[in-house]
Amino acid sequence: MIKNIRTTERNTLMLHELEYPFDSEYILKKSKSLKRRLLEENTQRIPKKIAVLGGSTTHDIIRILELFLLNQGIEPTFYESEYGMYWEDAMFGNEELNAFGPDLVYIHTSFRNLRSLPEVKDSREQVEDKLRSEFEHFQVMWGEAGGHLALSDHSGQL
C-alpha cells in the first residue's frame, strides 16, 4: 500500500499508521505486518538498548514501542524485567540487566504498584502525605536505577 508510506528527509520509510492521530487497536492488531513493512527497507538506524522494568505486563508496550521507534529510525533492543520485578531490578540490578547495559531505562507501573492509595475518608493532609510518600518511594528508585544500572550511550547519540 504505497499510499500509507512516505519518505522523510533521512530517506527512511515512515508509516502513516504510526502518525498522530493513530488507531491503537489497529496498530495492536497489525503490529506484526507493520513491523515487517518497517524492516523491509534496509535503512541504517540508530541502535538503542532499552530496559523496560515493569510493575505490570509490558509485552504489548514493548511491541508497540518498537514500531514507533523503528518508524523514527531507531533500532531498539529490549531487556524486559520479570513481571512485577521493576523495584528489585531498579534498586539492586541483576546480572542479565547489568550485562545488557541499557542506554535508556523505562519504568512502567500502574496504580496497582502504589503502596498506599487514598481513601474517601482521608483528609486532605492524609492524601498529601500518601502522595508525598509514593513520590519519595519512586524518587529513591529513580536515583538507585541510575547508580546500579550503568546507563551508557554507545553510539554517541541519545
Nearest one of 84, 76, 135 to 105, comparing CA atoms: 76
156 — pLDDT class (breaks 50, 70, 90): very low
Which residue type, as a one-letter code, is found at position 72? Answer: Q
Q: How many CB atoms lie within 10 A of CB 123?
A: 9
Summarize the confidence of residues 1-30 as an average pLDDT: 69
Q: What is the pLDDT of residue 153?
A: 39
Kindly tell me if the per-residue pLDDT of 10 is higher than 70.
no
**Mean pLDDT calculated for residue range 124-147:** 88
pLDDT confidence of residue 63: 93
Q: What is the pLDDT of residue 11?
A: 44
Report residue 56's pLDDT band, with 50, 70 and 90 as the boundaries.
confident
Evaluate if residue 152 carries a pLDDT over 80: no
Mean pLDDT (whole number) for 37-47:
88
The pLDDT tens digits of the residues spanning 63-107 come to 999 999 999 999 999 999 998 888 899 888 789 998 999 998 888
Q: How many residues are listed for the chain in this entry?
A: 158
Percent with pLDDT over 70 in the chain: 84
Distance CA(129)–CA(124), nearest Å, equals: 9
Q: What is the pTM of this model?
A: 0.76
7 has pLDDT over 60 = no
DSSP 41-53: S----EEEEEEEE
